[in-house]
Structure 1
Amino acid sequence: MKHNPKKFSAEIDAFIDRYVTDLRRGTAAVFAGAGLSVSSGYVNWAELLRGIAAELDLDVDRETNLVAVAQYHVNERLNRSHINQKLIDEFSVGHDINENQEILASLPIDIYWTTNYDRMIERALEAAGKVVDRKYTVNHLKSTVRCPDAVVYKMHGDVEDADNAVLTKDDYEGYFRDRELFVTTLAGHLLSKTFLFLGFSFTDPNIDYILSRIRVALKKQPKSHYCILRREVRKPREKLANFKYRQKQQYYFVKDLARLGIQALMVDEFSDITGILAAVQTRYRAQTVFISGSASEFYPWTADDAADLIESLADRLIRKNLTIVSGFGLGVGPSVIAGALQTIQRHPQRYSREQLQTFPFPLVDGARPRRSRMYRQHREFMLEKSGIAIFLFGNNEDGKGDVEDSEGVLQEFEIAKQMGVHVIPVGATGWVAKRIAGELSPTVKERSRQFQKAFAAAMDENVSVEETVKAAMTMVDEYCRL
């Protein structure tokens, strides 16, 4: 959550909501082209072949069919060893993971397709702690890595196997013979998943053929997918007539993408793509609420009222189709589970048990520093999943029978701030929650008037359980809309 909320067009805003829904359903996928790796320092196709074209006395900037240029070079040299070496030289060099790749890797996307030869997607996923199954030969399709978090299909091959990378007209012409299973697998995913095409130019004849075949099979009503494109901009010293012509070309191109079921989302700058992905990440995480709290005693509440508060809050979160994450905190966790499960069990067709994720703290023997490290990592793990954190009570016994503020709940607050998680303290429950509310009070003026009233109500000890829950949910609603 590194980006401030930005006002998007209605079209892009609707896409963000729909893609977040697909993420929650497990039906979101990504198709990555060369543009996704360019900001990491990798060359695009034109730059890869610039020297190759020069050897043929051709200007790569004047060529519209770069696959043909690669084939011309092979025809002249009678082998492709020089092109293979060029691919190895350009794509074996390590580069930093860029922000777009980092955001995508943080999301629950389990299917990636790419025409890229580099390994940036895999590296980003692994850096996010995910198990990756990389497939770039037909034989790879026959086996599966144990419990993968994501599968990366590299339909044009990998830098590690440059001899068999798809580069020339010969390779493209034999694609449906040599890599038919990739075609079949991609077609299946295009029918069952919602794809976001990023950094992809749609000049690949294989993709065009597959999309066209799916459109025909579905009687000209293909499944909807998305791509992000930059609007044409006028180049320095470019004639206005030429710029207008390129605009017209893009207009017809976008209309043709729509024919294939791909909605183009238009942006002014490539950097806007990062803002869109960050908004997807923010809204997805806002669908998961971490409930932080512990209580050896519930003063100023009675135990029954406290249980009613927590159960009612969990019930409302589930009814809003949000996911609850809980560390099963002392005195708080059981009521979270009870409130969520009662609602899920009463309406199993509407709500899912997956909306309740519990991660009890492990019992660790040994020295206190070892326990502290494990507990902090556990808290970070839970908060990484969440976009909103609600804080309730926050006290425990100190070992001598006295009740004090919970250091664990305070640590969860600090971690939430560091991760950019939206914090909602129910100050009326006292203890750490009240301390957090006091710290955040000056910042509430930045929020809506409705939010400010809800924040104040959640701090008022004289407000009823029902009104306190309503106030907390009002704040949740506003953060979900960001």
Structure 2
Amino acid sequence: MLDELIQSIASKNVILFVGAGVSKNLGAPTWAELIDHMGRELGYDPQVFGARGASYLTLAEFYRLEKGSIGPLRSWMDKNWNVDDEVLRKSEVHRLITEIGFPIIYTTNYDSNIEASFKLHKKEHIKIVDVRDISRIEDGHTQIVKFHGDFENDDSIVLTETDYFERLTFDYPLDVKLRSDALGKTILFIGYSLTDMNIRLLLHKIWKTWQISGHAKYRPSSYVFLPTPDPIQEVVLRQWDVKVISEDSPEPGQALEAFLNRLLPPSAKVAS
């Protein structure tokens, strides 16, 4: 299975999808810490606020309604989720992401750490936040698609419950682009918890698109990396033709680094 993925990478036929677990390796706040911060900003005891039983999407919606915008929250996230070059330089995971050679990287992370790593390692890239950026795509430049928005534009950020409900229609320009990209390429997901229903819905949508086409047997493989084996997820995802790859490691960051090292092309290994 891994050999098949490595061959697809060598053919520049793999889209990388990057989740919050990758930023967490840099010391970025967790969703629980984000909820605690929202509670404090709104005058709630963080433990009481987080124990309401609501998702962070609902709590972010409440924050927006109470504050009038997510601007203050976005500022806090921008400050705490972006790291300086010295920290980024020490991240082997980010270096490997730039070196492996993915032609397109989608990320649901709002921070700019992936783009900053490309700059740090002098790799050509183009950041895509909305439909205007699509016209700037150039051959040889890795596309970094900010699927849930970017800190530079509050309106682009998908964070509240309403934001997610609107995006679940999958008819926004970046959704159309993803459907187009996904039809012809392998997709590899890293840094995601498979309890995230948004990602599970995305995997199902990709599978459904191929089923409706009547040509599902031609669909490129999709992969999800998990730090530790999960036989239940393997069985459930198999029905959507998604293959699970795992490293049996107690430390998620080390597991991801080991996995990405195995994907590194021989020429890049020599250069590094």
- Given the two structures, how large is their TM-score scaled by the length of structure 2? 0.82
Give the secondary structure class of the aligned counterpart of 1:196: strand
Once the two structures are TM-superposed, the CA of residue 184 in structure 1 deviates from its matched residue by: 1.3
Distance 1:144 1:107, change over 3 A: same
% same residue: 23
Max radius of gyration: which structure? 1
1:126 CA drift (Å): 2.4
Give the letter aligned to residue 259 of structure 1: Q
Residue by residue over 1:88-119, the C-alpha shift from the partner in whole angstroms, topping out at 9 and shown as x without a partner, is: 32234525221011012112211000001111
Tell me which of the two structures has the higher relative contact order, counting C-alpha pairs closer than 8 angstroms and 6 or more residues apart: 2
What does residue 263 of structure 1 align with? 243
Corresponding residue of 1:60:
50
Deviation at 1:79, TM superposition (A): 3.2
Paired AA for residue 216 in structure 1: K
Matched, 1:211 2:203: yes
Residue 226, structure 1, aligned to residue 223, structure 2 = yes
Separation of aligned partners in 1, 2:178 and 2:14: 14
The answer to whether 1:167 aligns with 2:150 is no
Distance 1:194 1:144 in 2: 23
Tell me how far apart the structure 2 counterparts of residues 48 and 94 of structure 1 sit (CA, whole Å).
Answer: 20
Q: How has the CA–CA distance of structure 1 residues 280 and 146 changed in structure 2, closer, same or farther, with 3 Å as cutoff? A: closer
**Preserved contact between residue 33 and residue 199 of structure 1 (Cα < 8 Å):** yes
CA deviation string 1:421-466 (max 9, x = no partner): xxxxxxxxxxxxxxxxxxxxxxxxxxxxxxxxxxxxxxxxxxxxxx
CA distance in structure 1 between the partners assigned to 2:94 and 2:121 by the alignment: 10
Letter in 1 for 2:35: L
Shift of 1:64: 6.5
* RMSD between aligned residues: 2.8
1:137 aligns with 2:127: no
Q: What is the match of residue 374 of structure 1?
A: none
TM-fit CA distance, 1:154:
0.4
Alignment of 1:385-400 (within 5 A): 385=267
Pick closer, same or farther for the CA change 1:186–1:109 going to 2, 3 Å: same
The aligned residue for residue 79 of structure 2 is 89
Match of 1:5 in 2: none
Give the TM-score normalised by the residue count of structure 1.
0.48
1:196 counterpart = 2:188: yes
The answer to whether the 8 Å contact 1:159/1:165 transfers is yes
Counterparts in 2 of 1:386 and 1:66: CA distance versus 1, 3 Å = closer
Distance in 1 between residues matched to 2:114 and 2:240, nearest whole Å: 26
SS at 1:218's partner residue? helix
Deviations 1:33-81 (A, max 9, x none): 0111112222232222221135444353775622112112223334333
**Counterpart residue number, 1:349:** none
Residue 140 of structure 1 aligns to a residue whose secondary structure is helix
1:101-140 correspondence runs (5 A) = 101-140=94-133
Matched residue, 1:185:
177
Contact 1:176 1:183 in 2 (8 A): no
Tell me the secondary structure at the aligned position of residue 151 of structure 1.
strand
Cα distance change on mapping 1:171 and 1:134 into 2, 3 Å? same
**1:42 maps onto 2:25 in alignment:** no
Q: Which runs of 5+ in 2 are unaligned?
A: none
CA spacing shift, 1:179–1:93, aligned 2, 3 Å: farther
Counterpart code for 1:212: H
CA distance in 1, matches of 2:171, 2:132: 10
Q: Is the 8 A contact 1:84 1:163 kept in 2?
A: no
Aligned AA (1:209) = L
Offset at residue 260 of structure 1 (A): 2.4
The answer to whether structure 1 residue 28 and structure 2 residue 11 are counterparts is no
For the residues of structure 2 that align with 1:261 and 1:62, how far apart are their CA atoms? 36
User: 2:6–2:263: 8 Å Cα contact kept in structure 1?
Assistant: yes
Q: Which amino acid in structure 2 is aligned with residue 227 of structure 1?
A: V
Q: How many residues are paired up?
A: 257
Please state how far the C-alpha of 1:229 moved relative to its aligned partner: 1.4
Residues 1:100 and 2:97 are matched in the alignment = no
Question: Tell me, which stretches of 5 or more residues in structure 1 are unaligned?
Answer: 1-13, 233-249, 286-384, 388-415, 421-482
Letter in 2 for 1:69: L
1:203 to 1:76, Cα distance in 2 relative to 1, 3 A: farther
CA shift at 1:177, angstroms? 6.7
Q: Distance in 1 between matches of 2:136 and 2:66?
A: 40
Secondary structure at 2:153 match in 1: helix
